[in-house]
Structure 1
Amino acid sequence: MDYTFTVMTQEQAEWIAYSWHYDGEYSFYDMEADPDDLEEFLNAETRGDSVFAVTYEETLAAFLTVELTGSQTADIGLGMEPGLTGQGKGMDFLQAVIEFVTFEYEVERMTLSVAAFNVRAIKVYRKAGFKDAGTFLQETNGRTYEFLKMELAV
């Protein structure tokens, strides 16, 4: 699969924020579930040039956030369009993310955080080579959740 990464527009941010709704426990990832996250995602200045819309065959399929946390480390966040999740497309998408971030940012390491209950995503991350680096608790969506920090040497 060929994915295209472009800096996210305001229109794309609003589309994701207000129309991407996940089923069941994955509704945790709905942008509207946390007002602070929603506000940050919709703020063009906050997004800057480090939040990317990811298209596949000219359709908005995912998003990617990249934050450089060290001279050779990028912390990433990502999400797929709800209708594409749970269909075995995660590994191709993740490989495209790894290639894009490695090329664009010339990093040697990537980190990410994932909700501990999200076993589907954790399985994909581990299969791609990410290693567990610890857990932490974080307040979000009105409650405290456990997250798994993962890292990948590239």
Structure 2
Amino acid sequence: MGYHFEILTQEQAEEIAYNWHYDAEYAFYDIEADNEDLVEFLEPQKRGDSYFFVTKNNDAIGFFTFNNVGKNTIDIGLGMKPNLTGNGDGMEFVEAGLEFAKSKFTPEKITLSVATFNRRAIKIYRKIGFKEVDTFIQDTNGSRFEFMRMIYQC
């Protein structure tokens, strides 16, 4: 696959936060859309070593977060560079993130949460083997949104 993962630098965090903007309903995923997310993304102490910048052939592809949530479980978050979304590369990108998580953290389970309106992401996660656990409502981006929690058995 040729993906490379490195700890997210401050310069990369600022580039993503201020210049990666998604179209239409996916603008929900702009880092600037939620002040709490923006603060965490931009403050190195809050990011810690759980945020990774992803490249392929030296081109920026996206980022992943990996958080140990106990019981041999890693919770992931991810974002693909906006101009690369919707082009059929999402599955390979997510699979690369799962392989990285498995090799670095050796979890038994990987979890994630996705906004329920994001049908194209949910379709990819299901194809890869994620299963729905439940749904929940979360206050974010100035409103309330429904999310689906999903789990992947390693």
TM-score (norm 1): 0.99
Aligned to 1:143: 143
Deviation string for 1:94-145 (max 9, x for gaps)?
A: 1111110011001010000000000000000000000000000000000000
Q: For 2:150, what is the secondary structure of its paired residue?
A: strand
Q: How many residue pairs get matched?
A: 154
Q: Output the aligned Cα RMSD.
A: 0.6
Counterpart secondary structure, 1:113: strand
Amino acid at match of 1:113: S
Q: Which residue of 2 aligns with 1:3?
A: 3
The correspondence of residues 3-152 of structure 1 with structure 2, limited to 5 A, is 3-152=3-152
Instruction: Give 3-state SS (helix, strand or coil) of 2:117's partner.
Output: coil
- What SS does structure 1 have at the residue aligned with 2:66? strand
| Alignment deviations for residues 22-45 of structure 1 (CA, whole Å, 9 cap, x no partner) | 000000000111111101100101
**One-letter identity of the residue aligned with 2:52:** F
Q: Following the alignment from structure 2 to structure 1, what is the Cα–Cα distance between the partners of residues 115 and 14?
A: 23
- Residue by residue over 1:61-87, the C-alpha shift from the partner in whole angstroms, topping out at 9 and shown as x without a partner, is 100001000131000000100000000
Which residue identity lines up with residue 73 of structure 2 in the other structure? T
Which contiguous aligned blocks of 4+ residues in structure 1 show a shift greater than 4 angstroms?
none
| CA apart distance, 1:60 | 1.5
Return the letter of the residue paired with 1:150: M
TM-score by length of 2: 0.99
For residue 22 of structure 1, give the secondary structure of its aligned residue in structure 2. coil
| Shift in Å, 1:10 | 0.1
Long gaps (5+) in structure 2? none
